[in-house]
Structure 1
């Protein structure tokens, strides 16, 4: 509920403070007095897009502060929590428009964006009028209004979930089909490459080993003769034999010279041991150098095959084995692909059937709700002197989506047999106002979380019809809050709270003021609305009669 609105330096308002109440709040005043400016100011603080130039001439900036009461469970709490803004029973919105066009907004003393203001406004205020494309005249919202009227939220949630499941199943199928097609396009290459790799069977590290073996065999002829000579020089015919003879001679002489030969004998023993290791190493080298010439040919052939395959596939030789595993995995996917596609196709078919069943159920529920809504609106039109008008909720087939397969629009015919069409195009100003009011009465739930504003919705009607409009507005305000800008004395008389909007000219300055009216002032204001500039006693009597009900 809107509790207070404070406006500073906007258009022709220097400073206004308004305190609103529950029930039906009416604002009256002569044409041009500034009633629309109040709505512009409220729309500004709520983030709505409106006039570009709002700052009062001569002022540096304009400012609007709006205070709302938020009961527990109000949907605005969720928006505040999501935006990280403080939340409580009191919500204070403040927005400044500087002379250079820059705008700044605060929610409960925290800076916020215009998007957050607009999101909050959707939960705080409903504006209805002849040129309101945000509300009942916007056919894009008619389906949601019908669903709300028919209490179809649970079925709608099931349909949305089924659409999500269908979308996911279709995406999985498309992904699998694309992957299979990609593999199928290279099937011949895959099969040939896997066969080629399997036949060669390269192992990690093998290329290095083959290269070393090839280099050794290529060099063996050059070094084999020198290694053999070294082997002879180190063996029994060379150093090893001579050192053995020396060891025997010294051991024979050692007993005669006590300990003088112990150290040379020990050194010679160690030398013989090291010499034995050297001879063994040389013999191993000779064995390695002793190869079959055909082995070099085979080694080179395999080495070149591995390197050639690596160049062909653009990988390192040691990565060929892992590359082969990747190709085998693609082959397995190719072989299993048809089975996976079949399973995914079955899943899509089932998801489509589940969605279609729920969408059809939702369509039938909407058709039933549409009949109830049409009947309710027609019942409301009769007291508004539109008993010959025809209201109809049209449900047409549209492309399937998360909310089913239905396009919903509210259509009217002002007389039986006349062509029907959208509300905004068929009804005249006064008729449109009454259609909107009848619709609003039927669509408003018992949970009145929003402040409803009606901008001259009674335009073009008078007498008993205006009285009927006022009574419908009064009924809407029960357990809630309705603000109405009106030129109708019948509507004004039914208000629980009444403000008069006036424009005053002081020299070259024009200012708009808003004054709360007591019982005496209300008689004068309603009498003015009845008789015009000159208030007669007959007008006063008529005003008193209207206020008395």
Structure 2
């Protein structure tokens, strides 16, 4: 509920403090008195798009503050929590300042906020209805939401099905892209895997081959020298000569009177050492023996490993791991088509599930549309529009999270006449009554919003105006409705009555709003009935209207 509205230096208002109550609050006044200024100021503090020249002439800034009662379950609390704003009690204070240079600053309970936060709060705090309102019932983009609220539609199944449908489509799309990319390199993968499998590289193989190659290359260079050395040490060389020398000395030792004993012993020792040396050289020469074809094969494999490593820009020791990696990609490619089949089936299943949920929602909306049409038609009878036809049209639309329907409220003012959008077919007075009948049907059970009707009774009078007033009174039962009206029948039904007037002082025009006591209400309603000259009959008629 809007508890109060305080305005400072805005448009024609110098200072204004208004307090509103539950039920039907009516605002009356002569044309041009400034009733629309109140809506401009309320829209300003709620973050709505507003005119540029809001600051009163001569002032440096304008300010509007609106105080709302906010019950514990009010939907505005969720928006406040999302914005990081907590309130300790049931009082919500919105304040906004407009500087002379056009800068606007807003607060929620003394917490500075953007205009967007104020606009979001306004969606759950206030609902404005009028002949030129593009935020309410005349906006076709909101008709589906209104029908869903009327029919208490459960959108969870179709939203879940839409999410599953999108996820299945996304998974299929990603898999198709991955498979297409894999197919681009399929020839490369198959050739590379075959090449790697044929070579069958092993970790550490390059180092082993390099050592073996260098060993064989070294053996080739020194083997001839070792062989010549062995020849010089063998029986045809030093060993043979020493053996011959020892034999000759042994033959002469008997006649040398012992002088050859030591040389023979030394020679024997030398023969032993020479034998060991010869054996070592023989062993070395044996070790240096290699097959030239083995060197060639070793070099070919070593060069093949290094060439393949350069080709794939990896180390030779990483070739085995690369082979496993490429083989895995190739296996995924080969298995991709089978997986694609499963993903395509999942996408078809998700599409079918969404179609079923959307079709069920369309059916429920169509049934709710019929009930809404009957309810609005019943409301039009006391509003003297019993021949008018109201129809809620549910048409196919592009699929989305809320189904695949577009909803439009259409009217025909007379049977057989073409139907069309509310604001295109109905005249001013007819449109007001259509909107009121529709709002009565849609607002049942919803008292969270403060409903504001801007001259919703324009173009009607007499019994029809009385019927309009009683429908507004019905809406205000258990809720809060603010009505700007020129109809005395509507004004007489208000629980609270405010008069808007304009005066000129020292060349400065000022609008004021004052709450009316019961005698003042009689005078105001008599003025509305009679005009400038209020007669006794008009005063009596005003009393009669107030008495009901």
Question: Quick check: TM above 0.5?
Answer: yes
1:302/1:27 Cα in 2 relative to 1: closer, same or farther (>3 Å)?
Answer: same
The aligned residue for residue 381 of structure 2 is 382
Q: Deviations over 1:172-230 (max 9, x none)?
A: 11111221222223222211111111111223343344345434544554566789999
Shift of 1:158: 0.6
In structure 2, C-alpha distance between the alignment counterparts of 1:184 and 1:15, rounded to whole Å: 76
The aligned residue for residue 318 of structure 2 is 319
In structure 2, C-alpha distance between the alignment counterparts of 1:196 and 1:355, rounded to whole Å: 49
In structure 2, C-alpha distance between the alignment counterparts of 1:390 and 1:447, rounded to whole Å: 25
In structure 2, C-alpha distance between the alignment counterparts of 1:354 and 1:444, rounded to whole Å: 33
1:286/1:10 Cα in 2 relative to 1: closer, same or farther (>3 Å)?
Answer: farther
The aligned residue for residue 57 of structure 1 is 57
In structure 1, C-alpha distance between the alignment counterparts of 2:230 and 2:11, rounded to whole Å: 114
Q: Secondary structure at the match of 1:453?
A: strand
Q: Secondary structure at the match of 2:396?
A: strand
In structure 2, C-alpha distance between the alignment counterparts of 1:357 and 1:480, rounded to whole Å: 39
Structure 1, 215-224 or 162-171: larger mean CA deviation: 215-224
The aligned residue for residue 243 of structure 1 is none
The aligned residue for residue 106 of structure 1 is 107
Structure 1, 295-304 or 333-342: larger mean CA deviation: 295-304
The aligned residue for residue 164 of structure 2 is 165
Q: Deviations over 1:398-445 (max 9, x none)?
A: 222222221111100011110000001111111111100000000013
1:90/1:334 Cα in 2 relative to 1: closer, same or farther (>3 Å)?
Answer: same
In structure 2, C-alpha distance between the alignment counterparts of 1:361 and 1:280, rounded to whole Å: 101
In structure 2, C-alpha distance between the alignment counterparts of 1:347 and 1:370, rounded to whole Å: 34
Shift of 1:449: 0.6
Q: Secondary structure at the match of 1:144?
A: helix
The aligned residue for residue 23 of structure 1 is 23
In structure 2, C-alpha distance between the alignment counterparts of 1:312 and 1:92, rounded to whole Å: 72
The aligned residue for residue 70 of structure 1 is 70
The aligned residue for residue 423 of structure 2 is 424
In structure 2, C-alpha distance between the alignment counterparts of 1:296 and 1:157, rounded to whole Å: 76
In structure 1, C-alpha distance between the alignment counterparts of 2:54 and 2:229, rounded to whole Å: 107
Q: Deviations over 1:482-528 (max 9, x none)?
A: 00111111111110001111111112211111111000111111111
In structure 1, C-alpha distance between the alignment counterparts of 2:137 and 2:285, rounded to whole Å: 101
Q: Secondary structure at the match of 2:134?
A: coil
- Do the aligned partners of 2:83 and 2:117 also contact (CA within 8 Å) in 1? yes
The aligned residue for residue 266 of structure 2 is none
The number of residue pairs the alignment matches comes to 508
Structure 1, 294-303 or 45-54: larger mean CA deviation: 294-303
The aligned residue for residue 357 of structure 2 is 358
The aligned residue for residue 391 of structure 2 is 392
Structure 1, 220-229 or 483-492: larger mean CA deviation: 220-229
Shift of 1:55: 1.3
Shift of 1:307: 2.3
Structure 1 alignment gaps of length 5 or more: 239-275
The aligned residue for residue 372 of structure 1 is 371
Shift of 1:98: 1.0
1:321/1:462 Cα in 2 relative to 1: closer, same or farther (>3 Å)?
Answer: same
1:281/1:151 Cα in 2 relative to 1: closer, same or farther (>3 Å)?
Answer: farther
In structure 1, C-alpha distance between the alignment counterparts of 2:171 and 2:384, rounded to whole Å: 58
1:205/1:62 Cα in 2 relative to 1: closer, same or farther (>3 Å)?
Answer: farther
1:283/1:76 Cα in 2 relative to 1: closer, same or farther (>3 Å)?
Answer: farther
Q: Secondary structure at the match of 1:17?
A: strand
Q: Where do residues 277-292 of structure 1 align in structure 2 (5 Å cutoff)? A: 291-292=290-291
Please state if 1:471 is matched with 2:470.
yes
Instruction: Kindly name which structure, 1 or 2, has the bigger radius of gyration based on alpha carbons.
Output: 2
In structure 2, C-alpha distance between the alignment counterparts of 1:213 and 1:34, rounded to whole Å: 105
1:545/1:305 Cα in 2 relative to 1: closer, same or farther (>3 Å)?
Answer: same
The aligned residue for residue 253 of structure 1 is none
Structure 2 alignment gaps of length 5 or more: 232-236, 239-275
Q: Where do residues 219-298 of structure 1 align in structure 2 (5 Å cutoff)? A: 219-222=218-221, 291-298=290-297
In structure 2, C-alpha distance between the alignment counterparts of 1:474 and 1:281, rounded to whole Å: 124
Q: Where do residues 41-190 of structure 1 align in structure 2 (5 Å cutoff)? A: 41-87=41-87, 88-153=89-154, 156-190=155-189
The aligned residue for residue 401 of structure 1 is 400
Structure 1, 199-208 or 531-540: larger mean CA deviation: 199-208
Shift of 1:462: 0.9
Q: Secondary structure at the match of 1:36?
A: helix
TM-score (norm 1): 0.87
1:316/1:103 Cα in 2 relative to 1: closer, same or farther (>3 Å)?
Answer: farther
Cα root mean square deviation, aligned: 2.8
Shift of 1:281: 12
The aligned residue for residue 457 of structure 1 is 456
In structure 1, C-alpha distance between the alignment counterparts of 2:338 and 2:68, rounded to whole Å: 61
Shift of 1:319: 2.9
Q: Deviations over 1:434-481 (max 9, x none)?
A: 100000000013130110000111111111111111110011000010
In structure 1, C-alpha distance between the alignment counterparts of 2:157 and 2:41, rounded to whole Å: 41
In structure 2, C-alpha distance between the alignment counterparts of 1:285 and 1:124, rounded to whole Å: 103
1:48/1:293 Cα in 2 relative to 1: closer, same or farther (>3 Å)?
Answer: same
- Do the aligned partners of 2:444 and 2:475 also contact (CA within 8 Å) in 1? no
Q: Secondary structure at the match of 2:527?
A: helix
In structure 1, C-alpha distance between the alignment counterparts of 2:159 and 2:411, rounded to whole Å: 30
In structure 2, C-alpha distance between the alignment counterparts of 1:159 and 1:283, rounded to whole Å: 92
The aligned residue for residue 36 of structure 1 is 36
Q: Where do residues 526-537 of structure 1 align in structure 2 (5 Å cutoff)? A: 526-537=525-536
